[in-house]
Amino acid sequence: MMEHLRQTRSPGIRVQLTLWYTAIFALLILLFSLILYTTLQAFLASGVDSALQLRAQQIASGVSSESGKIVIQDVTGELPGLDAIATPSEPGKGTPTTNQTGGPNGTGQYGTQSDVNFGTLVRILNGTGQTTYISPAFHALSLPPNSFTNSLHGIPWRDTITAHNGQAVRVYSVALSDNGTVFGVLQVGESLAQLTATLQSITIALLVITPFVLLLGAIGSYWLAKRAFRPVLHLTRTTREIKAGDLHRRVPVPRARDEVYELALTFNEMIGRLDQAFTQQRRFVADASHELRTPITVIRSITDVALEEPLGFDECVEALRDINAETERLSHLINDLLVLARADEEQMPLEQELVRLDLLACDIAATMEPLAMERGIKLQLQMLSPASVFGDTARLILMIMGLVDNALTYTNAGGVVTLGVEVHGVLARLVVRDTGIGIAERDVAHIFERFYRADSARSRLASGSGLGLAIADWVVRAHGGSITVKSQIDQGSTFTITLPLAPTHTGARQ
């Protein structure tokens, strides 16, 4: 099922990318086609207009006005039917004068000449709007009246007209003048069949080519997406192969410093952190098991001996006392382990109350005094500045007592243990100083680790678990503070706890 999900998910992005690429590509082709079509249309249309204007100029050069009559000379040789309407009074001159009653009907008379697509489209009108000459094909056109009036007033008129057969025709209408005097209007037209055909073939070409181009584009995009995602897939495969047991492995980092490179680095950093956490956890479990086994082994051996041979009353009491001591040690250990386990899961709620650190130090010194006296150590208070912090009184007491207990444990008789509270700006500092055995430099960096005990401590106090400072470190950090140590072998150690002062510190002092 998982395998199936994985397989369906990874090509998804590639397909999505391909679809996006293809959609953008299609949009670009559409835009390009539109621009190409409209530009070409405008270009061809302006070509037709220029050609019409030129033709009109040529025809107009053969048209003149002689005593009110329009005389047409076929300069371009493309005015069909001009001979048929020529006035026989001027035979053979080729400059016939048209009659004024209108041109020949033309339709059917001249074959293709009457077709707007092939025939000549010319009409000449006199100043009153009467047709002097009309080519057969021109009959298929119905021009609006303003085509004549505009031209007569010196404004050339041009428009696209639909002929009777539905064909679009471009018509140009211009005034005929002689020495500045307008005597008629010349109208020339040209079928736009050629232009339409050209545009149509371009449209067909685009319609045929576009799907192929899109298909090629889609295949190309899919291939590219597949290629781009190959390192990611490789990364996924390798990451999947890494099990909890082999967290020392790392994913391959590509040479190119791209996004995949960053991803691989991030993965490796994450695996590194996991590896560290796993190692710590494993060591913690191993150390905890070891520490738990010691008192149990002791209890086992006491009971074994007791069961083997009957004990006297005093021996029985002795055995029970030993068992009791070991059980107490076990119970301490389990308590400490529970505190740390809950702290790891962040399930240890802390009270938030105003605590006077200096008063706390006073009380703790009084409580620990008998123990100090028993060990021949002088426990003294020094520089007790009033300092209030927000926190959990019970946890803070246990933490400070643990530090004082350590100081008393690792200091020989005749030594001095000092407890002090100072205020520095917004910080309160609690100092526990001793003149004891000190801590070797190589151990200082590790004493806050769980179960870590310096060799000198092992020989001194067999029952220590090495969890006290780890718990103290957690308590201080949970209060937003920090704990540091300065120590010198055989000179003594100074533990400094820095905690943020409560905002109401000044108020609390009174």
Residues forming contacts to ligand ADP in the complex (CB under 6 A) are: 406-407, 410, 434, 436-439, 447, 452-454, 457, 464-470, 493
Contact 487, 493 (CB under 8 A): yes
Q: What distances in angstroms separate CA 341 from CA 348, 418, 475, one per listed residue? A: 9, 32, 13
* Residue 61 exposure: Cα atoms within 13 Å on the Cβ side: 8
Residue type for 163, please?
Answer: A
Q: Which is nearer to ligand ADP, 124 or 365 (CB)?
A: 365
The residues with which 133 forms a beta bridge, in sequence order, are 124
Helix (H, G, I), strand (E, B) or coil at 204: helix
Q: Which is nearer to ligand ADP, 14 or 329 (CB)?
A: 329
Q: Which is nearer to ligand ADP, 260 or 361 (CB)?
A: 361
Helix (H) or strand (E) holding 428: strand 427-434
Question: What is the smallest separation between the CB atom of 273 and ligand ADP, expressed in angstroms?
Answer: 25
Alpha helices (H) in 102-243, listed in sequence order:
146-152, 193-241
Q: Which is nearer to ligand ADP, 84 or 445 (CB)?
A: 445
Question: What is the smallest separation between the CB atom of 485 and ligand ADP, expressed in angstroms?
Answer: 8
Q: Tokens 């220029």: give the residue.
A: 50
Question: What is the smallest separation between the CB atom of 394 and ligand ADP, expressed in angstroms?
Answer: 18
Question: What is the smallest separation between the CB atom of 483 and ligand ADP, expressed in angstroms?
Answer: 11
The DSSP bridge pattern shows strands 378-384 and 416-424 to be parallel
Q: Which is nearer to ligand ADP, 151 or 411 (CB)?
A: 411
C-alpha dihedral over 13, 18, 20, 21, to 10 degrees?
140
Question: What is the smallest separation between the CB atom of 434 and ligand ADP, expressed in angstroms?
Answer: 5
Q: Which is nearer to ligand ADP, 134 or 417 (CB)?
A: 417
Q: Which is nearer to ligand ADP, 95 or 494 (CB)?
A: 494
Helix (H) or strand (E) holding 190: strand 181-191
- Tokens in use for 195? 């232009």
DSSP string computed for 221-242 = HHHHHHHHHHHHHHHHHHHHH-
Q: Which is nearer to ligand ADP, 189 or 492 (CB)?
A: 492
Question: What is the smallest separation between the CB atom of 415 and ligand ADP, expressed in angstroms?
Answer: 10
Question: What is the smallest separation between the CB atom of 410 and ligand ADP, expressed in angstroms?
Answer: 3
Question: What is the smallest separation between the CB atom of 245 and ligand ADP, expressed in angstroms?
Answer: 30
Give the chain's radius of gyration (CA, Å): 54
- Tokens in use for 489? 């072998």
Contact 377, 405 (CB under 8 A): no
